[in-house]
Structure 1
């Protein structure tokens, strides 16, 4: 995703990613989730880090997305 309009904003577990995606979609931000371990498994290969996913959003929406991600992750740290 190097030459695209999307940028990686977060890496985490499936559960946290899904929580963030729900919050982003609630405000109209479309997110793309990339799971290399699942892609590797489906292709018949192994992956070094299981369960880690990357979250991408449009470069134009990065600032708003990061604010939401910060709010979600800070709530989880309590």
Structure 2
């Protein structure tokens, strides 16, 4: 199996991360999620930031994933700052 490089495309709370993961999966991109608080919980340690997740995608899928993540980020900003 060839080595694959993953690049972080998003960091944020669980709800936003799940929304982005769903959008990526709709176009066939399988994201990797890193959740420090869950890893710490499973290992018996605590984490100061609960529900914070990082989303990574394969370098091969980065150009396809970035527009999806950017659109999701602008949707989130619009929800936070309605005019």
Normalization by structure 1: what TM-score?
Answer: 0.89
Deviation at 1:17, TM superposition (A): 0.6
How far the C-alpha of 1:48 sits from its partner, in A, is 2.3
Q: Return the index of the structure with the highest Cα Rg.
A: 2
1: CA distance between counterparts of 2:76 and 2:8? 20
Displacement of 1:9 in angstroms is: 1.1
Match of 1:47 in 2: 47
2-side partners of 1:61 and 1:4: how far apart? 11
Q: SS of 1:62's equivalent?
A: helix
Give ranges in structure 1 of 5+ residues lacking alignment. Answer: none
Residue segments in structure 2 that go unaligned for 5+ positions in a row = 79-83
Instruction: State the TM-score, normalized to the length of structure 2.
Output: 0.84
Equivalent pairs, count = 76
Separation in 2, partners of 1:63, 1:48: 33
Cα deviation, residue 4, structure 1: 4.3
SS in 1 for 2:39: helix
- Give runs of ≥4 in structure 1 deviating > 2 Å: none
Instruction: Report what 2:28 is aligned to.
Output: 28
